Amino acid sequence: MAEDFENLLDEALADPERADYTRLRMAYARSLSYLPFGRDQVDIEDLHRRMATERWEEALDLVELLLESDPLSIPLRFAYAHILEEEGDELEAGLQRAFANGLLRAMLGSGDGRSPESAISVLDMREMYLVLDVMGLRAVRSQLSQVGAEWIDEVEAVGREGQRQVYFNVSIPQGWLAEVPELDSEE
């Protein structure tokens, strides 16, 4: 039986220092809430505008709405923490920051990305680009391939130290994509 994602999420938000983020991420990937593709970038850009112009109450309303449909978004959690801090809610800002850091540590702890066997497991492509950003890298080229039962995205990336390969395990979003029913093209 799949663990109840909503209960795990509530527990993690209540006590982010003790949460099992790996378990939470896997429960999310098995839940009906999981949507690895098709997020609306327009709302994210609107959130950035609200934050840049210091419209904190409006930004708070929007980030809370966005988190309802994307509860494990690390950038949204960090934005939420920043907005809460600006609104004077230091305690909740700290909890949100701890939650985001826990999610980030769980993702980065899934592998070192140096080989297909030690690929970093991501729930969506946004996480892949977040990892590259954290590493100070920018993707130049990407090659998706199947290695055994796993889907691996080999990313050629560049940074201050030069060029390197980073491997991501994208089996979870690829598996989700494989489960999406085909649309009838005759309709």
- Count the domains in the chain: 2
Residues 99 and 9 in one domain: yes
CATH code for the domain of 88: 1.25.40
Residue 187 pLDDT > 70: no
Residue 183 pLDDT > 60: no
pLDDT-derived band at 59 (thresholds 50, 70, 90) equals very high
Residue 40 pLDDT > 80: no
Record the tokens describing residue 87, joined without a space. 């609104």
Q: What residue numbers bound the domain in which 134 lies?
A: 116-179
Residues 100 and 135 in one domain: no
Tens digit of each residue's pLDDT (9 = 90 or more) over 135-161:
999 999 999 999 999 999 999 999 999
Q: Which of 62, 81, 108 is the last residue of a domain?
A: 108
- Residue appearing with tokens 């999981």: 34
Tens digit of each residue's pLDDT (9 = 90 or more) over 101-129:
999 999 999 999 999 999 999 999 999 99
Residues 10 and 101 in one domain: yes
Cα angle at 39 between 24 and 5, to 5 degrees? 20
Residue 142, CA distances (Å) to 44, 76, 139, 163, 175 in order: 25, 25, 7, 13, 19
Residues 100 and 145 in one domain: no
Residues 36 and 69 in one domain: yes
Long-range contacts of 68-73 (CB under 8 A, 24+ apart): 69/33, 69/35, 70/35, 70/39, 71/9, 71/28, 71/33, 72/24, 72/25, 72/28, 72/103, 72/123, 73/126
Name the residue among 26, 67, 74, 41 with its Cα closest to residue 176. Answer: 26
Mark 63-100 as b/e (b = at least 16 C-beta within 10 Å): beebbeebbbbbbbbbbbbbbbbeeeeeeebebbbbbb
The CB density around residue 27, as the number of other CB atoms within 10 Å, is 20
The reply to whether 17 falls in a domain is yes
* Per-residue pLDDT at 171: 97
- Tell me if 84 sits within 8 A of 96, measured CB to CB: yes
